C-alpha cells in the first residue's frame, strides 16, 4: 500500500512537469491556434541559458527570472522573424517551420553547450524527509511553482484586457483588427509567454532528469497527451491533464506495462482522447448558429 501511495505521489510530481509544458503548448495554441512542436527544444535551450547563468556565479533566483525574461524575448523574436513571413501561408507551411525550428534549436543547443549530461541545481532542499519520505522537497517545490504559473496565466487571460485581446486575436483576427487590436503583436506576445512558461518547465524538470539537449523529447509527448486530455484550449484543463498523465504513466509503468513501454501510455491517451472526446475533458465545445 505504501508503494502504491508512493507511485501516485511520484506520478503527481512528474505530472507537475508535464503540466507546465502542457501549459506552454496551450498558451501558443490560445494565441495562434497551432501546436508548436519545437516547444520542448526551446525550453531545453532556456534551461541551458539558466545553467550558464548559475555557473557564472549568479544566485539561483536571479538566474531563474533572468532566464524567463531572455526566453520571453527569444519567443517574441522567433514569431517576428520566422512565423511572421509565413503568417498567411497554409497550415502545412507552419508545421514545416515548427519542425525546422525543432531541428535547428535542438542541434544548436547541442553545438553550443555540448551533449554531455549536466547537473542542474534545485532551489528546493530540506533537511528532514517530508511526509514520511514519500515526496522530495524538489517535487513539492516544483509542483508549487507549476500551480503558481497556472494561476498567473489563468488570471491573465481571464481578467486583463491584454489577455482578452490575445484570445480575441486567436479566435477572430479580422474582427480583432476592426476593434483596434494589433493582432501581429498579440501573436508575438503569445510566443513570448509560451517560451517563458517552457523555460520554467525546463528549469523544474532538469534537476530530475539531468540536463542534456534531448531532455525534453519524451516529456513533450506526455505534455501533449496531457494538453489533449484536459482540452487544448483550456489552461486549467491542460494542467489537470498533465498531472493525470503523470499519475497514469507512473501507475501503468509500475503495475501494468513496465517501464519500457511507459511512453505508449501517452500515445494511447492521445489516440483515445481524439477518438472519444476530441475537445478533451475540460475543453469548450463551441456552439454556433448558422
Residue 90 as a binder of other proteins (CB under 8 A): the answer is no
Residues in the chain: 290
Of residues 194, 184, 189, 160, the one with CA closest to residue 43: 194
User: Binding other proteins by CB under 8 A: which of 55, 62, 144, 284?
Assistant: 284
Question: CB of residue 181 vs other proteins: minimum separation in angstroms?
Answer: 6
Here the cell at position 247 is 499519475
Stretch that binds other proteins, among 75-83, 110-118, 126-134, 282-290 (CB under 8 A): 282-290
Q: How far is the CB of 104 from other proteins (least distance, A)?
A: 31
Which one of residues 57, 92, 174, 260 is an interface residue with other proteins (CB under 8 A)?
Answer: 174
Give the span between the Cα atoms of 250 and 134, in whole angstroms.
Answer: 14
Find the binder of other proteins among 65, 131, 171, 255 (CB under 8 A): 171
Distance CA 177, CA 164 (A): 14
Q: If binding is defined by CB under 8 A, does position 176 make contact with other proteins? A: yes
Considering only the C-alpha atoms of the chain, give the largest distance between any 2 of them, rounded to a whole number of Å: 63
Q: Taking the complex as a whole, how short is the minimal distance between the CB of residue 185 and other proteins, in angstroms? A: 10
Site for other proteins in 48-87 (CB under 8 A): none
Cα R_g (the chain), whole angstroms: 19
Is the Cβ–Cβ distance between 145 and 8 less than 8 Å? no
Distance between CA atoms of residues 261 and 256, nearest Å? 9
Q: Which of 174, 169, 167, 229 is nearest to 15 (CA)?
A: 229
257 vs 249: CA distance, rounded Å: 10
Task: Annotate each residue in 135-154 with x if it binds other proteins (CB under 8 A) or - if it does not, as one string.
Answer: --------------------
Q: Which of 32, 35, 41 is nearest to 79 (CA)?
A: 32
Place of cell 478533451: 280
Which residue has cell 527569444?
74
Binding other proteins (rule: CB under 8 A), the pick from 129, 177, 256, 274 is 177
Neighbours of 70 (CB within 10 A): 18
30 binds other proteins (CB under 8 A): no
The number of residues that bind other proteins (CB under 8 A) is 22
Q: Which stretch binds other proteins (CB under 8 A): 35-43, 141-149, 172-180, 253-261?
A: 172-180
Among 57, 90, 92, 161, binds other proteins (CB under 8 A): 161
Q: Which of 91, 178, 275, 276 touches other proteins by CB under 8 A?
A: 178
- Candidate ranges 117-125, 216-224, 270-278, 281-289; the one touching other proteins (CB under 8 A): 281-289
Contact 66, 58 (CB under 8 A): yes
Nearer residue to other proteins within complex by CB, 66 or 173? 173
Smallest distance, Å, CB 22 to other proteins?
21
**Nine cell digits for residue 93:** 507551411
Q: Which of 164, 217, 257, 281 binds other proteins (CB under 8 A)?
A: 164
User: Cell for 283?
Assistant: 475543453
Residue 161 CB, shortest distance to other proteins, in Å, is 7
Contact footprint for other proteins (CB under 8 A): 161, 164-165, 167-168, 171-172, 174-183, 284, 286-289
Amino acid at each position: 500500500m505504501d508503494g502504491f501511495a508512493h507511485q501516485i505521489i511520484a506520478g503527481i510530481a512528474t505530472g507537475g512537469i508535464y503540466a507546465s509544458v502542457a501549459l506552454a503548448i496551450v498558451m501558443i495554441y490560445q494565441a495562434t491556434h497551432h501546436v508548436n512542436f519545437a516547444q520542448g527544444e526551446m525550453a531545453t535551450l532556456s534551461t541551458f541559458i539558466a545553467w550558464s547563468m548559475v555557473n557564472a556565479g549568479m544566485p539561483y533566483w536571479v538566474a531563474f527570472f533572468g532566464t524567463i525574461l531572455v526566453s520571453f524575448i527569444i519567443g517574441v523574436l522567433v514569431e517576428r522573424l520566422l512565423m511572421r513571413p509565413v503568417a498567411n501561408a497554409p497550415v502545412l507551411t507552419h508545421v514545416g517551420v515548427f519542425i525546422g525550428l525543432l531541428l535547428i534549436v535542438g542541434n544548436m543547443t547541442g553545438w553550443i553547450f555540448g551533449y554531455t549530461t549536466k547537473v542542474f541545481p534545485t532551489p528546493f532542499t530540506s533537511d528532514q524527509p517530508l511526509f514520511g519520505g514519500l515526496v522530495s522537497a524538489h517535487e513539492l517545490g516544483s509542483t508549487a511553482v507549476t500551480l503558481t504559473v497556472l494561476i498567473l496565466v489563468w488570471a491573465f487571460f481571464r481578467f486583463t484586457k491584454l489577455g482578452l485581446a490575445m484570445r480575441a486575436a486567436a479566435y477572430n483576427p479580422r474582427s480583432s483588427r476592426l476593434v483596434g487590436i494589433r493582432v501581429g503583436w498579440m501573436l508575438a506576445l503569445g510566443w513570448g509567454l509560451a517560451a517563458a512558461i517552457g523555460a520554467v518547465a525546463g528549469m523544474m524538470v532538469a534537476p530530475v532528469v539531468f540536463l542534456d539537449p534531448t531532455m525534453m523529447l519524451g516529456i513533450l509527448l506526455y505534455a501533449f497527451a496531457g494538453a489533449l486530455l484536459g482540452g487544448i484550449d483550456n489552461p486549467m484543463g491542460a494542467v489537470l491533464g498533465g498531472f493525470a498523465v503523470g499519475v497514469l504513466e507512473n501507475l501503468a509503468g509500475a503495475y501494468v506495462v513496465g517501464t519500457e513501454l511507459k511512453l505508449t501510455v501517452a500515445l494511447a491517451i492521445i489516440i483515445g482522447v481524439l477518438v472519444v472526446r476530441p475537445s478533451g475533458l475540460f475543453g469548450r465545445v463551441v456552439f454556433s448558429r448558422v
